[in-house]
Chains A and B, each alone.
Chain A
């Protein structure tokens, strides 16, 4: 191996990318070549500098939450038509099409508005159930594990633009076990996790600027969702617990969350 060939291979040699035969030939050359030894040293110093002094940018926890939420949204089944309208529609021509659309819109608008307002809270509840089911899988239940409300509450500071009240119901048989950042209705929300025997309750808390919640929102098979609004905050409790127990839990939470606006 001559010097020029050897010089080209110093980088790959440092990187451990050479096969054994080439390695041996290069080492044989380097043993008698101070210039190559020095160049290899220089290469090593540069890579050491890069590896020790380059900031390694880390993704924020928000990004992870955002991506998870987007993936979940993507996983929902969607309607797919080969053509945006049934084939016969295309034969109507431009004016015919407009007439049909206008007629259809006039008929459907009053009905649609009613349907949308009903489905808003039920789709929110379904989203909350999906979050709950998801939180029980693959160690995704908690971002901060603590039975101490004074640990869980400050954890949310800096992660949310509001501060959720965290109360511990340990003495009443619903111990606080941790908190998590989650996404509901396109925004980051606090999820406080409580345990009852072997069951979990996800309590989602976020400011009620867009809508307020009342009573039983969703009730199917094993899952119950109860929602309420207090002191400008929406609360949504989701669990596979029996409805009676979940109501007991909700009552205790309602009694212990202080109305922060009193005294203002």
Chain B
């Protein structure tokens, strides 16, 4: 590891993205403390501790006990710790395994929590791949929200407007979703390539244009569901829906397969293909790539088309899998969560799958935590952002825990400024 990251400044790509092969000769402990994995784990633990403090603060019994803190300080701590314990147990039960529902012996009882985790993770993985791929090519795709919405609009329209044979309908729906996302992402890529408009600015603006476009569609007859009172679309036909993976009693659906296939494809694309080499080269140094005869502008368009298509797939998973009707919040914040997933996964497909599963589990568990202990689900957002904040500032984590090692910065080489 040391030889590869000896000079992070000269090789930012290697510094930001940990290489897949680490030399086996290095000592285990040295490898552990200098690897980015330890930073990730410590960031997670720190975020969970800070989240725990919030749980305790929000707990009514702990609040009451804190009024007589100076008489019986132990009460406050006792109630506080019990609130944290209960909260995190509920989080685990909602995300992984719940002994109370499992004792009923049904499939939903055993696999329900895992199914929720996977259902939540599916669009996060797809969105994370999209943002991650763009990162590798030196672009910051902040437009996941818009691309997810456009993907969902296209897929949903095919799903409820056309009548087709079951298999064909689903395939066309998926392709339409990819097309919708790719159009929206590709537009940002095209603007970047042809006019130099910074993709962060254009994608933020495209997000809002998509939001209002969806709001408009949800008030148009033919799109809106009768009796036209609510902003909700027609229902997608059964023939266009992604099949459930574990039967109808739990929610996990075929979108997960799409996500895993996409992850494999992106891995192949980045690591094995000529196009991927070109994209990585452009991401590492566009000027050198141009000198070497690569078409940098074309690369921007290509990568944003693929990134958009991936977010479009996340939209497909939302509309043809998890939900069956379009609503104003069909994107469910995936676009921005995807950025955190890509950063946590350090922009490589394996990491993104792991990060997507982790955040999917947090979302699934957060719902259970809210219903079981009354801790607001917004806690998940706080924990998520804290994890990424610590990941993005590895220097801070290393200072906090007195670790030595290279202080690489995720995304440090990306989007240097509005003009770059």
Decide whether A and B assemble into one complex: no
A interface residue numbers (CB < 8 A to B): none
